[in-house]
Amino acid sequence: MRVLVTRPRPAAAATALKLEAMGHEAILLPLMQAEHRVAAVETALQQSHGAIAVTSAEATRVLAALGHALEPHLATPLFCVGEATGRAAAELGFTKIHVGRGTGEGLAETVATSFAAQRSEPLLYLAGSPRSDSLERALRQRRIDHRTVECYRMTPVPYRPDELSDLRRAGQFDAVLLYSRETARQFAALLAQSGLNAASFARRYLCLSASIAGALPQSAEAEVAAMPDEDHLLKLL
């Protein structure tokens, strides 16, 4: 199948390798790019905290940029959403990793069970922007003391208005992979600028969540992964 991958680099390249191993043709069109805020993270880590929470592998890339300055924090409990983010944290050297279910609510449950009753220091949440507030809302509901620091910001990648038209000339895509609501919004805007109908551009739009699917044009044939992670997303193929 011919599959369009819209996630940011370098994650898009890793997805392409998975697709090629499955026998599919992967075309990369990253719609967002990450601006890392390494200094903000370094300052935040110097302040009192009892554990760290991350909800994406992008946050672990920001932590990696700290280099040797990260070493004193590798024994700090780290709470993360999903196995992929957990693996990325393990590669950095974190030794106390707790993996929550693939939602903010699920991670808050894990934090409440393993951390909240044992610590007086706040949880440090290294977040991206834009983001869902599901984790922060769930932490507030459970009265878990936390501090949020934005460690990266996702910004749109500029493309020519006819970029999608050029890709469509090689044939209709069998599937488009969408990983965030903001990416879906950007893709819908690019479709409109190109004068293309979503249904004619691709047969299927595979989304990590229903929220992402809701940001697509009505003509898009959207499907939602059983769990919000890439393994379940690729199973839809």
User: Do residues 139 and 162 both lie within one domain?
Assistant: no
End residue of a domain, out of 113, 137, 154: 154
Q: Please report the pLDDT score of residue 132 as a whole number.
A: 82
Q: Please report the pLDDT score of residue 81 as a whole number.
A: 87
Q: Please report the pLDDT score of residue 228 as a whole number.
A: 82
Segments of the chain with pLDDT less than 50: none
User: Do residues 124 and 135 both lie within one domain?
Assistant: yes
CATH number at residue 182: 3.40.50.10090
User: Do residues 27 and 42 both lie within one domain?
Assistant: no
What SS3 string covers the chain?
CEEEECCCCCHHHHHHHHHHHCCCEEEECCCEEEEECHHHHHHHHCCCCCEEEECCHHHHHHHHCCHHHHHHHCCCCEEEECHHHHHHHHHHCCCCEEEECCCHHHHHHHHHHHHHCCCCCCEEEEEEECCCCHHHHHHHHCCCCEEEEEEEEEEECCCCCCHHHHHHCCCCEEEEEECCHHHHHHHHHHHHHHCCCHHHHEEEEEECCHHHHHCCCCCCCEEECCCCCHHHHHHCC
User: Do residues 107 and 165 both lie within one domain?
Assistant: no
State the total domains in the chain: 2
Q: Please report the pLDDT score of residue 126 as a whole number.
A: 96
Q: Please report the pLDDT score of residue 49 as a whole number.
A: 93
Q: Please report the pLDDT score of residue 117 as a whole number.
A: 61
Structural domain including 57 reads 34-154
User: Do residues 114 and 172 both lie within one domain?
Assistant: no
User: Do residues 118 and 201 both lie within one domain?
Assistant: no
User: Do residues 82 and 136 both lie within one domain?
Assistant: yes
Q: Please report the pLDDT score of residue 4 as a whole number.
A: 97
User: Do residues 133 and 200 both lie within one domain?
Assistant: no
User: Do residues 39 and 132 both lie within one domain?
Assistant: yes
User: Do residues 51 and 126 both lie within one domain?
Assistant: yes
User: Do residues 47 and 97 both lie within one domain?
Assistant: yes
Q: Please report the pLDDT score of residue 110 as a whole number.
A: 86
User: Do residues 47 and 102 both lie within one domain?
Assistant: yes
